[in-house]
């Protein structure tokens, strides 16, 4: 950004008022409105000619608002009050901080102003609440009995439509400063229009910057009647006139377009709260907060978090609220075995599903926006339970969920993780099995089930069925099932080792090795039962990493059994495989019901979160996910 | 509780080894790939996509015991001089992932020379503070013969304790010697007993692309099951593991 010379006029202080008025007239860069000229003249005459009243001592701002008074940070957040610290929702306009006194003395209130184009009648106190921020005539009959003295700081982003040199102009009565960010990111004054009691005029700066959002902070003060003016104008490259910056060129947050629709998001993290701390979710959630407003992006605390108010490492801190009404569903709402020192190590899917339903309703009520669910791992089991539960509990309620993103991935450090990351650490000695067999099994299994390590990363993001289809029954179609296995956890292996016909089971004590994360999916455990949540599945239960998967049944369209085959190194051919596909149960599918109820269709996205094969980072995925979310903006 | 079978059981019989170098999976169009692993006795291990036509050509990791794994951010340059000679060069960012999972990006330089058919490799990775040098040779045949003789003596004798003594860690990490023998004895009624073991052919030492050495030895096996004698041909795999040859598994032809 190239800051041009800001031409300024006006000297602070009563004594300088008349001089200032003359300079206003003579300075080329200062354009005085006819009305403003009259006001300035009147004020100057009153103050110099009469000189029987003086503005309260030090009632001038001499600089932009100090950072200690109004901190600068991005994204722009509210200061003070109930919304203190909350990020200002993305919307056209600027955040305006109205302060009593000319020296930013007391923050009176904050609001979003559509733009800066104000001409106030300053004979009263039109903007600041009493009692402070007023001055009195002290018996000078030529002045109003009292008038307001206030200052305002507008901050936000100027949305530059194109790269080039802009004329920026502030018109003030009585003084103002325009700050922008320098290359280091610190604020620097580009227009110094300190003005004074009798001042009204324009101050310009020529500033070159690139297209896109440009942070601006406009500090302004008024300390004298009869009028107060604050106008922010610009002349865009190629334009022949200076115009008031329109609302659609101002935004409360840094964004290329300030017309993003209002949406709300609920993030349901995985067990142990760890997903909240992983980079992908920070990379994912922060841009959402910036775009849609922090208040519109909420985290779902598990019941256990609420029960123990475990803030650290988890997302809780709220009181425990066990739902009183499970709507007749076979959900045991008694808490599961709770461990106060382990965050979300155990939880109750059914209980959390009810709480999630409540939270979603609250979020929708608070925001009036459709709710997009983003879940990870165990959190997705809760979301699935919520879907089923919500249909049963609120069969006539209008659907409020418009999108669901299932972020499923390999548990870090798990076999699936190693397998999915390909080159990374497959043979790590820290793995529970020795590297050779580990490698063989992982390599074979991921190929068997359709994981293509060579697929383009964007194929990680592909809308799939709202339900799991782990493996397509037609082997020829396995490529269509890319990623299915990544979202599952329940593949396990049994390794038989033979010595001339005598069979040995590798790891007979732990005869089956888990292949990945545990993702518990609600569903019809017993297909003859029509319980919407699958009957016993939703009894109060504990789910935790390390529990044997045998306790759980994944809902899936096909149960796949990968039988004996012979490994060929380098593990590229599969000469013998046995796929069996039990007939899917012919019972109402709660997820089909949920899908129909929510009319989600293809807006349910299964997204794998395993790290990029080569870089080991998840960063590319967050962009893909965000783009998909943005694409869903109405 | 009535359950559907919830788990996907991958029953794996570890078997034969071939030297195919490109992918031919069930996924459809094969993707060119030639991932090679070179490891030296110190635990240094270089894993690299050595196929120039692969999408991730030159992608590599270098595992350094006690330090972590260096993961190249982009692919290294592969200069194939001949089938036996590939020069690898890389100078750029790498992520050093510790055993604890923390990742740090550093700049590193890798120079390597690979002889894929003979699975020999030499590589040097240099960072601002460290230098790691790997020299990988194929496994030596030395020490194999005593293991073969032990195997050939123990099987007809039904001496599973002796088998256990030469078995790979796949067995020894899964069974105690006593449990191993008991498991074998429990199957004797159905599997029978080996009455004759005749070595037919001993293969050359091979090194898999994943960097481990093995030898395939062919046997004629005569066994008795319930007094009925049958004959089969079996390949027995011996694995070079932790500096010694071990019985890995067998596959009936």
**A82: phi then psi, degrees, rounded to nearest 5:** -65, -25
Q: What is the DSSP string of B33-69?
A: --EEEEE-TTS-EEEEE--TTSTTTT-EEEEETTTEE
Which chain A residue shows the shortest CA-CA distance from B231? A500
Residue B232 or residue A443, greater confidence: B232
A chain contacts of residue B6, beta-carbon cutoff 8 Å:
490, 549-550, 552-554
pLDDT value at residue A603: 60
Considering only the beta carbons, identify the residue of B9, B25, B169 that sits closest to A447. B25
CA distance B30 to chain A (A): 10
CA distance A311 to chain B (A): 23
Which residues are bridge partners to A173 per DSSP? A229
Question: How far is residue A519 from each of residues A431, A478, A513, A604, measured CA to CA in Å?
Answer: 21, 22, 15, 17
How confident is the model over B51-72, as a mean pLDDT?
Answer: 82
In the structure, what pLDDT confidence band is assigned to residue B141 with cuts at 50, 70 and 90? very high
Percentage, residues of chain B above pLDDT 70: 83
CA distance A577 to chain B (A): 10
SS3 (DSSP) at B116: coil
| Token code pair at residue B113 | 């020379």
Pick left, alpha or beta for residue B27 (phi over 0 → left; psi -120 to 50 → alpha; otherwise beta). Answer: alpha
Quote the CA–CA distance of A600 and A400 in Å, as a whole number.
10
**From the CB of residue A494, how many other CB atoms can be counted at a distance below 10 Å?**
18
CA distance A554 to chain B (A): 6
Tell me chain B's radius of gyration from C-alpha atoms: 22
Bond into A183 cis (ω within 30): no
User: What is the pTM (predicted TM-score) of this model?
Assistant: 0.41
A chain contacts of residue B239, beta-carbon cutoff 8 Å:
436
pLDDT value at residue B28: 31
Helix (H) or strand (E) holding A35: helix A34-44
Quote the CA–CA distance of B76 and B80 in Å, as a whole number.
12
Question: How far is residue B76 from each of residues B48, B86, B94, B197, measured CA to CA in Å?
Answer: 9, 12, 11, 49
H and E: helices and strands count for chain B: 4, 15
pLDDT value at residue B121: 93
B chain contacts of residue A565, beta-carbon cutoff 8 Å:
12-13
Least confident piece of the model among A460-474, B41-55, B64-78: A460-474
B chain contacts of residue A437, beta-carbon cutoff 8 Å:
14, 170
Which residues are bridge partners to A75 per DSSP? none
CA distance A540 to chain B (A): 15
- Taking an 8 Å cut-off on Cβ atoms, the answer to whether A504 and B171 are in contact is yes
Percentage, residues of chain A above pLDDT 90: 14
Tell me chain A's radius of gyration from C-alpha atoms: 32
How confident is the model over B223-228, as a mean pLDDT?
Answer: 92
Distance from the Cα of residue B98 to its chain's centroid: 24
β-pairing verdict for A491-499 and A502-505: antiparallel
How confident is the model over A144-165, as a mean pLDDT?
Answer: 88
A chain contacts of residue B236, beta-carbon cutoff 8 Å:
500
pLDDT above 90: residue A244: yes
Tell me: the pLDDT tens digits for A62-94? 899 999 889 988 888 888 776 777 778 778 899
Quote the CA–CA distance of B59 and B55 in Å, as a whole number.
9
pLDDT above 60: residue B35: yes
Least confident piece of the model among A11-20, A585-594, B140-149, B210-219: A11-20
Q: Is B242 on the interface with A (CB under 8 A)?
A: no
Percentage, residues of chain A above pLDDT 70: 42
Residue B229 or residue A16, greater confidence: B229
Tell me: the pLDDT tens digits for A333-359? 444 444 444 444 445 666 777 788 888
Tell me: the pLDDT tens digits for B74-83? 889 999 999 9
pLDDT above 50: residue A316: no
Tell me: the pLDDT tens digits for A589-616? 334 444 455 555 456 565 544 433 333 3
pLDDT value at residue A18: 33
CA distance B235 to chain A (A): 9
Looking at the predicted complex, does its ipTM rise above 0.85? no
Most confident range, picked from A256-270, A473-487, A493-507: A256-270
SS3 (DSSP) at B165: helix
Tell me: the pLDDT tens digits for A391-410? 666 666 667 888 887 665 44
**A155: phi then psi, degrees, rounded to nearest 5:** -145, 150
Q: Are A602 and A587 in contact (CB under 8 A)?
A: no
Question: How far is residue A166 from each of residues A3, A93, A163, B31, measured CA to CA in Å?
Answer: 10, 19, 9, 53
In the structure, what pLDDT confidence band is assigned to residue A622 with cuts at 50, 70 and 90? low
pLDDT value at residue A420: 36
**A565: phi then psi, degrees, rounded to nearest 5:** -145, 170
Quote the CA–CA distance of A327 and B60 in Å, as a whole number.
55
Following CA atoms A511, A517, A523, A526 in sequence, which dihedral angle do they give, to the nearest 10 degrees?
Answer: 0
Question: How far is residue A69 from each of residues A101, A210, B2, measured CA to CA in Å?
Answer: 13, 30, 66
Residue A524 or residue A118, greater confidence: A118
- Taking an 8 Å cut-off on Cβ atoms, the answer to whether B171 and A413 are in contact is no
Residue B124 or residue B55, greater confidence: B124
**Length of chain A measured in residues:** 634
**From the CB of residue A295, how many other CB atoms can be counted at a distance below 10 Å?**
17
Q: Which of A226, A203, A220, A175 is nearest to A45 (CA)?
A: A226
Give Cβ neighbours of residue A245 (< 8 Å, ≥ 6 apart).
A115, A116, A158, A232, A233, A234
Least confident piece of the model among A164-168, A218-222, A598-602, A608-612: A608-612
Mean pLDDT of chain B: 81
User: Considering only residues 129 to 188 of chain B, which have any Cβ-Cβ distance to chain A shorter than 8 Å?
Assistant: 155, 163, 169-171, 173-175, 179-180, 183-184, 187
- Taking an 8 Å cut-off on Cβ atoms, the answer to whether A616 and B97 are in contact is yes
Q: Is B225 on the interface with A (CB under 8 A)?
A: no
pLDDT value at residue A600: 54
- Taking an 8 Å cut-off on Cβ atoms, the answer to whether A559 and B8 are in contact is yes
Residue B156 or residue A428, greater confidence: B156
Quote the CA–CA distance of A360 and A375 in Å, as a whole number.
13
Quote the CA–CA distance of A497 and A291 in Å, as a whole number.
56
Q: What is the DSSP string of A368-406?
A: -S-EEEEEETHHHHHHHHHHHHHHHH-TTSPP-EEEEEE
| Token code pair at residue A173 | 């009565």
Tell me: the pLDDT tens digits for B158-191? 999 999 999 988 788 888 999 999 999 999 998 8
Bond into A75 cis (ω within 30): yes
Q: Which of B111, B149, B157, B101 is nearest to B245 (CA)?
A: B149
A and B: number of Cβ contacts within 8 A = 242
Tell me: the pLDDT tens digits for A32-66? 333 343 444 444 444 433 333 444 544 788 899 99
pLDDT value at residue A606: 54
Helical ranges in B136-227 per DSSP H: 144-157, 160-166, 169-172, 177-191
pLDDT above 80: residue A176: yes
Which chain B residue shows the shortest CA-CA distance from A580? B8
pLDDT value at residue A592: 46
Considering only the beta carbons, identify the residue of B3, B8, B22 that sits closest to A525. B3
Most confident range, picked from A299-313, A342-356, B108-122: B108-122
pLDDT value at residue B132: 96
Mean pLDDT of chain A: 60
Considering only the beta carbons, identify the residue of B8, B239, B249 that sits closest to A492. B8
| Token code pair at residue A534 | 């699958």
Q: Per-residue b/e over B75-93, b at no fewer than 16 CB within 10 Å?
A: bbebeeeeeeebebebeee
- Taking an 8 Å cut-off on Cβ atoms, the answer to whether A554 and B10 are in contact is no
Quote the CA–CA distance of B214 and B247 in Å, as a whole number.
10
């Amino acid at each position: 950004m190239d800051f041009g010379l800001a031409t300024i006029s006006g000297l602070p202080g009563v004594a300088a008022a008349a001089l200032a008025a003359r300079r206003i007239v003579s300075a080329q860069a200062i354009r005085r409105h006819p009305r403003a000229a009259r006001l300035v003249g009147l004020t100057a005459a009153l103050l110099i000619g009469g000189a029987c009243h003086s503005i309260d001592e030090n009632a001038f701002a001499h600089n932009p608002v100090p950072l200690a008074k109004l901190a600068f940070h991005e994204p722009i957040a509210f200061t003070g009050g109930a919304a203190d610290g909350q990020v200002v929702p993305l919307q056209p306009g600027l955040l305006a901080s109205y302060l009593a006194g000319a020296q930013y003395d007391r923050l009176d209130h904050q609001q979003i102003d559509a733009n800066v184009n104000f001409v106030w009648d300053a004979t009263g106190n039109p903007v600041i609440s009493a009692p402070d921020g007023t001055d009195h005539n002290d018996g000078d009959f030529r002045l109003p009995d009292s008038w307001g003295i206030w200052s305002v700081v507008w901050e936000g982003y100027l949305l530059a439509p194109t790269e080039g040199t802009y004329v920026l102009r502030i018109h003030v009565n009585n003084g103002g400063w325009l700050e922008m960010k320098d290359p280091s990111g610190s604020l620097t004054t580009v227009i110094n229009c300190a003005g004074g009691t009798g001042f009204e005029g324009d101050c310009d700066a020529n500033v070159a910057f690139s297209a896109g959002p440009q942070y601006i902070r406009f500090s302004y003060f008024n300390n004298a009647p009869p009028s107060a003016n604050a106008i922010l104008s610009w002349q865009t490259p190629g334009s022949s006139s200076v115009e008031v910056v329109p609302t659609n060129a101002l935004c409360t947050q840094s964004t290329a377009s300030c017309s993003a629709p209002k949406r709300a998001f609920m993030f349901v993290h995985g067990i142990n709260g760890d997903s909240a701390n992983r980079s992908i979710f920070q990379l994912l959630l922060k841009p959402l907060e910036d775009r849609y407003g922090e208040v519109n992006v909420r985290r779902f605390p598990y019941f256990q978090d609420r029960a123990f108010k475990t803030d650290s490492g988890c997302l809780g801190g709220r009181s425990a609220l066990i739902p009183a009404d499970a709507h007749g569903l076979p959900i045991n709402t008694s808490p599961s075995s709770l461990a106060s020192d382990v965050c979300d190590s155990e939880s109750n899917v059914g209980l959390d599903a009810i709480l999630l339903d409540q939270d979603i309703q609250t979020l929708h009520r608070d925001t009036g926006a459709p709710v997009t669910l983003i879940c990870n791992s165990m959190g997705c089991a809760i979301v699935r339970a919520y879907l089923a539960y919500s249909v049963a509990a609120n069969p006539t309620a209008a659907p409020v969920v418009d999108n669901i993103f299932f972020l499923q991935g390999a548990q870090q450090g798990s076999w699936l993780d190693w397998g999915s990351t390909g080159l990374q650490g497959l043979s790590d000695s820290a793995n529970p099995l020795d590297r050779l067999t580990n490698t063989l099994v992982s390599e074979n299994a991921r190929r068997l089930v359709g994981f293509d390590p060579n697929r383009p990363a964007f194929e990680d993001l592909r809308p799939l069925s709202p339900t799991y289809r782990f493996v397509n029954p037609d082997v020829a179609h396995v490529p269509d099932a890319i990623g299915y296995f990544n979202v599952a956890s329940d593949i396990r292996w049994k390794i038989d080792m033979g010595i001339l016909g005598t069979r040995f089971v590798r790891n007979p004590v732990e005869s089956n090795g888990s292949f990945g994360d545990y993702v518990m999916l609600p569903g019809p455990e017993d297909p003859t039962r029509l319980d919407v949540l699958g009957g016993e599945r939703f009894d109060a239960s504990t789910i935790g990493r390390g529990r044997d998967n045998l306790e759980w049944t994944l809902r899936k369209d096909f149960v796949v059994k990968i039988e004996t085959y012979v490994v060929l190194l380098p593990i590229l051919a599969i000469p013998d495989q046995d796929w069996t596909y039990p007939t899917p149960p012919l019972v109402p599918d709660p997820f089909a019901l949920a899908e129909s109820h929510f009319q989600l269709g293809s807006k349910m996205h299964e997204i794998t979160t395993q790290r990029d094969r080569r870089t080991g980072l998840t960063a590319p995925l967050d962009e893909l996910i965000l783009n998909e979310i943005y694409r869903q903006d109405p | 509780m009535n359950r559907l079978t919830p788990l996907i059981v991958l029953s794996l019989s570890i078997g034969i080894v071939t030297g195919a170098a490109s992918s031919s999976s069930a996924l459809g169009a094969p993707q060119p790939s030639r991932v090679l692993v070179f490891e030296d006795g110190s635990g240094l291990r270089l894993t690299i996509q050595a196929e120039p036509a692969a999408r991730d050509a030159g992608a590599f990791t270098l595992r350094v015991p006690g330090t972590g794994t260096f993961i190249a951010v982009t692919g290294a340059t592969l200069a194939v001089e001949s089938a036996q000679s590939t020069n690898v060069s890389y100078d750029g960012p790498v992520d050093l992932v510790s055993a604890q999972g923390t990742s740090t990006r550093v700049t590193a330089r890798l120079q390597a020379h690979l002889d894929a058919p003979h699975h020999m490799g030499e590589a040097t990775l240099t960072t601002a503070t460290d230098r790691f040098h790997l020299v990988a040779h194929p496994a030596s045949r030395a020490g194999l013969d005593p293991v073969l003789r032990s195997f050939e003596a123990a099987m007809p004798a039904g001496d599973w304790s002796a088998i256990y003594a030469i078995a790979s860690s796949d067995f020894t990490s899964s069974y105690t010697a006593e449990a191993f023998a008991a498991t074998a004895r429990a199957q004797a009624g159905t599997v029978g007993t080996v009455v004759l073991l005749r070595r037919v052919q001993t293969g050359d030492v091979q090194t898999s692309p994943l960097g481990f050495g093995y030898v395939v030895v062919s046997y004629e096996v005569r066994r008795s099951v319930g007094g009925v004698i049958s004959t089969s041909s079996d390949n027995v795999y011996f694995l070079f593991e932790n500096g010694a040859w071990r019985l890995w598994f067998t596959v009936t032809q």
